[in-house]
């Protein structure tokens, strides 16, 4: 065990496992909730869940500075390659691949994926990582509630990272239903309080989770981390 999850604010996360740093949905510049700068964050790998600017904005710059390999869907990888990103690995929904840091599978997400310049970004995804030590982490990324979360839960999830902001993604009520479907050991809420339309009380949500499920809810401030 020893997986470390870092919340950088909004939908931007980091995972540290087996000595590797995996950065997910890098959005620092112009992110009102960001806890770090794009020019200082470290990454060996970058995963992009979908094409929206609040998830991909700093991917090209950070990949260029760090030399990180970028993992995303086929369409986004093609777009990143055209932007000058040199090291990429395309996957697609339902497909997993054994990377050095673990087995990463892209899952269904109910959302959009248009890229910042209007290019087609394929279908949005969630991320299911099985580390080399066997821990399972599910980042739903931007999504509405969908029945397949029950299937994801059947994998035995140690940590789920779920959006609770409402408006663009699941809100608190549906995110609570998601916890009941996934039944993770631990859950962390994200994608809230960045802007007024997604203002939520994460502590109230965490209290509901712990009252109605056996999952432990952890509310982080941007920049804080949680370790399994
Ligand atoms: Ni989005
Ligand atoms: Mn988003």
Residue with tokens 């549906």: 174
Domain residues for the domain of 136 are 4-218
Is the Cβ–Cβ distance between 169 and 200 less than 8 Å? no
Is the Cβ–Cβ distance between 39 and 63 less than 8 Å? no
CA of residue 165 to ligand 2 center, whole Å: 10
> Is the residue at 140 inside a domain?
yes
Residue with tokens 């279908």: 123
> Is the residue at 228 inside a domain?
no
Nearest ligand to the CA of 194 is 2
In a 10 Å sphere around its CB, with 0-12 CB exposed, 13-18 middle and 19+ buried, how is residue 2 labelled? Answer: exposed
> Is the residue at 227 inside a domain?
no
CA of residue 159 to ligand 2 center, whole Å: 20
CATH assignment of the domain containing 86: 3.60.15.10
> Is the residue at 224 inside a domain?
no
User: Tens of pLDDT along 23-48?
Assistant: 999 999 999 999 899 999 999 999 99
Positive or negative, the CA dihedral 191, 165, 224, 156 is negative
In the chain, the number of structural domains is 1
CA of residue 141 to ligand 2 center, whole Å: 8
Is residue 208 predicted with pLDDT exceeding 90? yes
User: Tens of pLDDT along 152-162?
Assistant: 999 999 999 99
Share of the chain above pLDDT 70, in %: 100
Is the Cβ–Cβ distance between 220 and 4 less than 8 Å? no
**pLDDT given at position 216:** 98
> Is the residue at 223 inside a domain?
no
The mean per-residue pLDDT over the stretch 201-226 comes to: 98
Is residue 1 predicted with pLDDT exceeding 80? no
Is the Cβ–Cβ distance between 141 and 126 less than 8 Å? yes
The mean per-residue pLDDT over the stretch 63-86 comes to: 98
> Is the residue at 25 inside a domain?
yes
Is the Cβ–Cβ distance between 218 and 189 less than 8 Å? no
**pLDDT given at position 2:** 84
pTM of the entire predicted model: 0.97
CA of residue 166 to ligand 1 center, whole Å: 12
């Amino acid at each position: 065990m020893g997986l470390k999850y870092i919340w950088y604010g909004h939908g931007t996360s980091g995972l540290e496992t087996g000595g590797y740093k995996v950065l997910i949905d890098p959005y620092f510049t112009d992110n009102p909730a960001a806890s770090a700068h794009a020019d200082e964050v470290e990454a060996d790998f970058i995963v992009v869940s979908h094409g929206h600017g609040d998830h991909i904005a700093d991917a090209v710059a950070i990949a260029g500075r760090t030399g990180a390999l970028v993992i995303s869907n086929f369409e986004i990888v093609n777009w990143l390659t055209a932007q000058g990103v040199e090291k990429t690995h395309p996957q697609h929904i339902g497909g997993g691949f054994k990377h050095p840091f673990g087995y990463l599978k892209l899952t269904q997400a109910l959302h959009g994926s248009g890229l910042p310049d209007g290019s087609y970004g394929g279908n949005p995804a969630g991320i299911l990582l099985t580390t080399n030590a066997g821990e399972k982490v599910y980042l739903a990324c931007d999504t509405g509630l969908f029945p397949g979360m029950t299937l994801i839960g059947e994998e035995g999830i140690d940590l789920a990272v779920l959006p609770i902001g409402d408006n663009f993604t699941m809100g608190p009520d549906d995110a609570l239903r998601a916890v009941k479907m996934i039944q993770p050991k631990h859950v962390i809420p994200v994608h809230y309080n960045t802007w007024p339309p997604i203002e939520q009380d994460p502590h109230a949500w965490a209290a509901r989770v712990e009252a109605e499920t056996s999952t432990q809810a952890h509310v982080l401030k941007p920049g804080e981390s949680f370790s399994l």
